[in-house]
Structure formats: C-alpha cells, structure tokens
Amino acid sequence: MPPQQRPIKRLLVVNRGEIAIRILQACHELPSPPTTFALYTDVDTTHITLGRPHHAIKVVSPATYTDINSIIKIAIENKIDAVHPGYGFLSESAEFSRRMWEEANVLVVGPGWEVLERTGDKLKAKALAEEGGVPVLKAMRNPSSSVEDVRMFARSIGFPIMVKAVDGGGGRGIRLVENEVSLQNAVERCIGESPSKTVFAEQAAIRGFKHIEVQIIGDGKGGVKHLWERDCSVQRRFQKIVEVAPTPTKDRRTVGKVVESAMSMGNRLKYLGLGTFEYLVNVKSGEFFFLEINPRVQVEHTISETVRGVDLVREQLLIAQGQNALENHRFGDISQARDHPQAYSIQLRLCAEDPNSNFALSIGRVAEVVIPSGNGVRVDSHLSKGGSVGSDFDNMMAKIIVTASTWEQTLAKARRALAETRVSGVKTNLDLLRAIVGDEAFCAGHADTTWLESNMQKLIEQGQKLGSKTESATANLPVFPASSTQSQGLASSNISFRKGDAWTLHLEGGEGLSKEGHHLSLDRIIRNEFPDAIVADISFTAPGQKPLTFKATVASTTTSAGATASTHRRGDCNNKNHVVVPMSGKLIEVLVDEGDEIKENDIIAFVKQMKMELEIRSPRSGIVDWVIELESEEGDDVAEGVLLVELKPEESSKPDIRSKL
C-alpha cells in the first residue's frame, strides 16, 4: 500500500533543470503553498534563479541527486515532510521511497514503494500485463548479467532482439541486436548502464510500429482516469526527440484499446498519482504490445496538459495530499478512450548536440537564447544568461510545446516557433527539428520508431537548408538588442562595435610570422553580446595576401574545468596516425595497450556522456605506438581533440564514434 497521504508543509525538490522549475511553479500555485527547498551545485544554478524556491541547498557534486543517504540527511536537517523526485535520478527507486518514509518520515510524491517495486522492474511490469491479458512480446523470464543467457534466448526465438536493463530509462541501457556478432558488446554495454547490472532480452517489433504511451492518474483506491495518449515514435537511439498528443491517426479503434488496457492495469494496481503505460502499436494491423510503466511524471507530460488544459504536476501534488483530483472533468474515463480530445500538441526537445558530428554532446556556455512566444506556444526551459551545458547532466536545453485545434494548424505553429528560436554558444539540433516538422511523412502521421534514423541524413541536409533559409530571411533587417521577453535575460553589450571598425594585429612569438600587421575589419555586426558572444561578417588580410571574408561566431565557454585543465596531449587532426577523442565527455575505459595490433573498426575506448556509454572505433588497422593513460580510476574528463591513440605510420582517417543505444 502507498504511504499515508497527508498535507505537505515543507517540500524538497530532488531534481534540477526545467523539471525542478516546473515543480516549484506548481507548488507556488497550490491552494496552501508549501515552503520549498531545492538542491544545486556550483555549475548548475539556473533552476534556482528561475524556479525561486524559498530555500536553496548547495550540494558538493551532481552525485548527491542519487545518493539516498545524503538526501535523508538533508531532509532531516531541514525538517522536510515531502520530496518530489521529478523524473530520472531517484524517481523510480522503491528503496528511496521506502527509506525516506521509514527513516525520515518523509513522503516521496509518487505511487509508493510497493507499486515502484512492480513497475520499476520491466520484467515485473510485463508479468502484470500478462496477468490482465494484455499482449506482450516474448521475453526472458528472469533478469541476468550473463551474455550466454541472452545468447540462448536469442537462438530460441531468432534475431532481431532488444536487450534492456531491467531498471534502465531515458534511452539508456537498451540496444537493438540484429545478429549474433554484435550481441556480446550490446549486452555488456547494457549491463554497464544498469544500476542493478542486470538485463533481459525480448523479441523486437520495429517495422511499422509506433511508440505510444498512455497518461493515467489514479487515486490509490482503484479510481483511474486518463489524459489520452502520446505518440513518441520520433526517436534516435531510443531517446525521444519529438512527441505528439494525441496520435495523428483518424482510426482510433486500436489506440482506444491501448488506452483501455492501461486503465485496466492502473485499476488493478490501485495506482496513485501520475503514471505512463508504454506500448508498441501498429495502427494498420491492429497489433499492440505492452512495453513498460513509467511510475512518475514524464518529460513529455506537457502535451497531455496542453491538449486538455490541466496542470498535471499540480494534480499530482494534490493527490499526494489526499485530495480527489479525479473529479476534474478534463480527465477522461474509459468510455472516452476512443474519442478525440479535440486538440493537438507537439513537443520539440531542443538539445545541445551536433547532428553533423554523430550527435556529439556540445559543451559550453549558453551565450544567447531567443525563445518563441505567442498564441499556443509554451516553452519549458532552465536556460538563462550564464547557463552552461556540461557532461554531468542531460543535454536538453528547452522543451518547445505548440498546441492548436487541428493537426495542420499545430504543424504550422511548430514551424513558426522553430523559426523564431535562436541559440548561440553551443551547437543544437534546432535545424533537425525544423526538418522533422516540415517532412511529408511526419506531417502525414506515418513516422514509426524506425523513421527518424532511416531518414537521418536526408533530414540533416534538409535542416541545414532550412536553417540557412531562416537566417537569410532576416539578414537585411536592422539588428536591435533582443527583447527581454524573448531573450532569457541576455542584454546587448555596452561596448559599441560598428560596421567599418578595423584593427591591425601584430602577432609575435611564432616561427615564420611576418612582422607586418594583419588587418581585421568588421563588414557587418549581426549580434553583439560581448563578452559573451559576437556574431559578425569580417574581412581578414594577412601580409601579402588577398582579403578573405568570414562569418565569425565568438562565444565564451565553460567547458568542463577538468577537461580544460587536463594534462593529456592534444591530437593533430592533420596527422593521420593520431586517433583523437571526437567529443568532450568522461573517458572511462581504454581497451588497447602499446604494441597491440588493432583492426579497422575495432572498439578502442568508451566515453561517457550523460550516463550513456559511447564507443570509439579505430579508423584503420595498425600497431599502437602510444596510448593515453587515465589519471583517475573513475575516468578522466577530456575535451574534444585530446589524443587517444597514436598508431605507427600508416594511412588513416577520422575516427568513427557510434552510440550503442
């Protein structure tokens, strides 16, 4: 049974970023607002500035967010009576929920530890579905940390299979395995990303299947309502990028059955609070299979809110205090499962990553962000002046949510909102998002779970064209300081730069440098946020050379202090014998030693970004002449371009990096 529901007086938010802000805002709007507390680290503070908790508690490192003992100590010291875990971190931990109640008399907002024990484990959740007659994919009955156990299962049902951490989430700890050659590495990586170090395998259903999830809310006594479904099929490496509510299909018979099955399972669980029941659904064939339950608020809860005009986090907090939120007429009952909710909403995840470099994490300081606004546009974000992107947390910068009464109007609003969005200081997937909402297949509602990755190169190219078109459309407009309502607190510089400003540069100390001055002039100021950022068209003339024209983007950065201060050698991209680290992150494992003979495409190292392990492969065969030495057992923070391996002379090429997600 769940912990006792009771009034909340002092609430601690054990999360950060936009979801911490979202929770704090909901707390401020409650009929009896509690005193709020939030955690922060030295390098991650914007949720404090924007969320405005009553009290901010500094923690020593990001690891505190998942350290149960530390959270218990903080709760006792500050007389906390409730904790909201948000999503990720400890939100699905039955141990956290139980220990907070038993050791600190603190209520963790959620369904309670008994339900978490059944739903946080994917195999136990599948067993629950089977008990109720809900279709599931063939799967291993027991979790394992053995590659051979998974291999035996694969041989019994055939490839392809999915290997999953029993306690994974957010795209982590999951691999599609299409043949036996790649099985061992996939299993080992999933085990490495699983908190319990255990995995299972299941039959893969990929072609023609959409990833559809149902949002339910329960009173803990068997009463369950729904907020229809969300289509989360647009994924890369099993991570959602674009979500839609409801599913853009005219025939709701199959989708209605999925909603009904989720409500039935929620009823049998006597579910309390918010929960998401996930499925693979083939709308054309009528097939559907249960996947898992996420017993918490979801990243994409926003689109369920906007299509029905409710505040799910507020309702979650009210239910935790024993109030009957199910009386809200905007929630649906089982008889409405096949009805349409009369609106559409799209969520677009703006992430700090470089699609042109295999989506490598883009680390740095956010110099400028201009967010869209207007009717039907909502942005949930923790971005503000001085905010930065590092390797410790998720790279999501903002959630852009658009809502309209028809699918066509919603698409038009999404295109307009993305055209108004601008970010400088880090690279983002903005152009890719523009391409997705402009693609014919997506607009027709045909995107399944394989669509994005099958069309990735085409979409990246389309996005680049759309980005250039968007920029050129406003190139002739005069440049003004960004409005405070659009730019997250980023004022223009007090230092004036003008078209025609020019400088003579004298460079000293390098061999072969001319003593004559180099000439630099500004042809056009596009943006002046000095010292955070400058964007300008420039002309540069070296002594005795013709002028060269460039578009210069200069931005300050807060790349990981550990990476910046690293004593590791820098690689030379022009040296074909150098294999460099292709992106910033934590180098956690090097698999080769000096003298080793390696073949082209061999895995030689792993870099960790946001809890995901990414493999680095050798670009060619050769003998290892030198290899980096890790300075810490837990891995070293490294910047892009650090020398990883030096091979004995032989023709080479740029290293290949692939995620095994």
The 10s digit of each residue's pLDDT in 611-636 is: 667 888 888 889 999 999 888 777 88
**Confidence class for position 451, pLDDT limits 50, 70, 90:** very high
604 touches 616 (CB < 8 A): yes
- In tens, the pLDDT along 363-378 reads 777 877 889 999 999 9
- Residue 240: active-site member: yes
- DSSP 8-state secondary structure symbol assigned to residue 222: S
CA 68, 74, 77, 83 torsion: positive or negative?
Answer: negative
Q: Give strand ranges (E) for 425-532.
A: 502-505, 518-529
Residue with tokens 């063939």: 138
pLDDT value of residue 611: 62
658 touches 614 (CB < 8 A): yes
Per-residue burial over 64-93, b = 16 or more CB atoms within 10 Å of its CB, e = otherwise: bbebeebbbebbeeeebbbbbbbbbbbbbb
**Confidence class for position 601, pLDDT limits 50, 70, 90:** confident
Lowest-confidence pick of 7-21, 284-298, 341-355, 388-402: 388-402
The stretches of 290-388 forming alpha helices (DSSP H) are: 301-308, 312-320
Residue 644 has pLDDT above 80, yes or no: yes
Angstrom CA distances, 458 to 363, 427, 463, 517, stand at 26, 19, 9, 45
The stretches of 296-454 forming alpha helices (DSSP H) are: 301-308, 312-320, 407-420, 430-438, 440-443, 451-454
90 touches 65 (CB < 8 A): yes
Per-residue burial over 5-44, b = 16 or more CB atoms within 10 Å of its CB, e = otherwise: beebebbbbbbbbbbbbbbbbbbeeeeeebbbbbbbbeeb
Q: State mean pLDDT over 177-195.
A: 90
The pair of three-digit structure tokens given for residue 583, joined into one six-digit string = 């992106």
Q: State mean pLDDT over 291-317.
A: 96
Residue 351 has pLDDT above 90, yes or no: yes
DSSP for 549-571 reads EEEEEEE-----HHHHT--SPBP
Burial of 632 (C-beta count, 10 Å sphere; 0-12/13-18/19+)? exposed
Using alpha carbons, select from 239, 250, 445, 467 the residue that is nearest to residue 346. Answer: 445
- In tens, the pLDDT along 473-496 reads 877 777 665 554 445 444 444 556
Q: State mean pLDDT over 419-438.
A: 94
- The residues with which 354 forms a beta bridge, in sequence order, are 360
- The mean predicted confidence, pLDDT, of the chain is 87
Residue 610 has pLDDT above 80, yes or no: no
Lowest-confidence pick of 20-24, 259-263, 620-624: 620-624
198 touches 145 (CB < 8 A): yes
Residue 652 has pLDDT above 50, yes or no: no
3-state secondary structure of 235: strand
pLDDT value of residue 634: 75
Most confident of 68-77, 142-151, 525-534, 620-629: 68-77
Tell me the one-letter amino acid at 627: V
Catalytic residue among 240, 413, 427, 660: 240
Q: State mean pLDDT over 584-611.
A: 86
pLDDT value of residue 561: 44
pLDDT value of residue 330: 92
Residue 533 has pLDDT above 70, yes or no: no
Residue 557 has pLDDT above 60, yes or no: no
pLDDT value of residue 661: 40
**What is the crossing angle of helices 456-473 and 430-438, to 10°?**
100
**Confidence class for position 565, pLDDT limits 50, 70, 90:** very low
pTM across the whole model: 0.78
Name the strand (E) or helix (H) holding 149: helix 147-157
**Could you give the count of Cα atoms lying within 13 Å of 309 in the half-sphere of its Cβ?**
8
pLDDT value of residue 600: 85
Domains belonging to the chain, first-starting first, are: 10-109 (3.40.50.20), 138-203 (3.30.1490.20), 207-342 (3.30.470.20), 502-555 (no CATH), 561-659 (2.40.50.100)
513 touches 506 (CB < 8 A): no
Residue 120 has pLDDT above 90, yes or no: no
**Confidence class for position 564, pLDDT limits 50, 70, 90:** very low
**Confidence class for position 327, pLDDT limits 50, 70, 90:** confident
Angstrom CA distances, 501 to 106, 375, 455, 492, 517, stand at 62, 41, 45, 18, 16
Residue 439 has pLDDT above 50, yes or no: yes
Strand order in the sheet with 603-609: 636-638, 585-590, 603-609, 612-617, 656-659
197 touches 145 (CB < 8 A): yes
Residue 168 has pLDDT above 80, yes or no: no
